[in-house]
Amino acid sequence: MKLKKVDYKRTYEQMTGGLAALPAVERSLTWMDRILTILMIVSYAVVLVTVFGASWRASGMAAYGWYRVLPFILIPGSGFAAVSVIRLLVNRPRPYRTWAIHPLLHKEADGCSMPSRHVFSAAMIAMCVWRISAPAGAVYLAIAAVAAMLRVTGGVHYISDVVIGLLLGIGLGSLLFLF
């Protein structure tokens, strides 16, 4: 049985529906991508401060605060490093390098598309938030899914790149519930 090769250029054009012809759409996607990135970075900092502060207040000891915050640093940090190594080993070309498409988000990278580190980080931060508050974590997972869609629609990742990044972030982030 032969597998049919997908014409990604055609798929991408169908997916974006001619949005590439509208400069305002490119600017909007770029700004949305930046805003979501900043939101996640700030949220992660708030998570670390919240966990540290709550632990310190509960115990009256700064050392206990650091003990409680360490999983929130070590798990995401080691996951980020592992995803970075996987990306280097796989070194999958980006869609805009392989296919003649006009990406709506602009990057200069040639490879390292698989898995999406951007989406991995968003999912991991969502899991950090979930560890503190399930309702807020669910909202952040939805935001991570929006970030994934932006990366695909923007033409900088394949769907498989973002799905694997999302699953790795959720899977490794689940380790936070052991602490």
pLDDT by residue, tens only, the chain of 179 residues: 554 557 888 888 888 877 766 778 888 989 999 999 999 999 999 999 999 988 877 777 767 777 889 999 999 999 999 999 999 999 999 999 988 888 888 888 888 999 999 999 999 999 999 999 999 999 999 999 999 999 999 999 999 999 999 999 999 999 999 98
- φ/ψ of 154, rounded to 5, equals -70, -10
pTM across the whole model = 0.90
pLDDT at 147: 96
pLDDT at 4: 54
Distance of alpha carbon 130 from alpha carbon 61, whole angstroms: 25
pLDDT recorded at residue 20 = 66
Q: Which value, in Å, is the radius of gyration of the alpha carbons in the chain?
A: 18
146: left (phi over 0), alpha (psi -120 to 50) or beta: alpha
Predicted pLDDT at 1: 52
Collect all residues with Cβ–Cβ distance below 8 Å to 12 and sequence separation of at least 6.
95, 99, 101, 155
Predicted pLDDT at 171? 98
